[in-house]
Amino acid sequence: MNFISRDTDYAIRALVYMAKMAKKKKDIFTVDEIVKEERLPERFLRRILQKLAKKGVLRSYKGKEGGFSLINSPKKITLTDIIKVFQGEVDLTNCFLKGKICPNIRTCALRKKLKGIGRGLDRELRSITIASLL
């Protein structure tokens, strides 16, 4: 059971690259540059960055000399943010009989326990920022 999906993984690599280079260089990056440096599949990464742009993690510039840039400081971008974009909210308490048979998720001993664990996990994932990975 993989916790991180391929697009989350690629997104993190791209963001870390951008954060690293933004310190020395200009801060707009083309997909081609990132693909070359990080050796990721071009069209797939393109779609990933587009999604990050749509979700407000990146800003995109169309046209010649365009590309993508970070909107916020790498210190502000957490793992939780990125996972949420590609894999949705991490939900430890999901119930497969919800509504049908189970009376209430709050009376369920399992979900009650998992809820606490999920909160702890989220707190830890939130502590991992792009900046912390440089």
Partner DNA sequence: ATTAATAATACTATATTGGTATCATTAATA
Partner DNA sequence: TATTAATGATACCAATATAGTATTATTAAT
Which residue is associated with the tokens 């919800």? Answer: 98
- Residue 88 near its own copies by CB under 8 A: yes
Question: Which does residue 66 touch among its own copies, DNA, none (CB within 5 to 8 A, set by kind)?
Answer: DNA
Question: How far is Cα 125 from Cα 86, in angstroms, rounded to an integer?
Answer: 15
Question: How far is Cα 11 from Cα 9, in angstroms, rounded to an integer?
Answer: 5
Q: Which C-beta is closer to its own copies: that of 62 or that of 100? A: 100
Least Å distance, CB 64 to DNA, is 4
- Residue 2 near its own copies by CB under 8 A: yes
Q: Note whether 17 and 38 are within 8 A (CB).
A: yes
Bridge partners, residue 78, by sequence: 129
Question: How far is Cα 72 from Cα 83, in angstroms, rounded to an integer?
Answer: 17
- Residue 95 near its own copies by CB under 8 A: yes
- Residue 42 near DNA by CB under 7 A: yes
| Binding region for DNA (CB under 7 A) | 5-7, 10, 29-32, 41-44, 46-47, 49-50, 53-54, 60-68, 87, 96
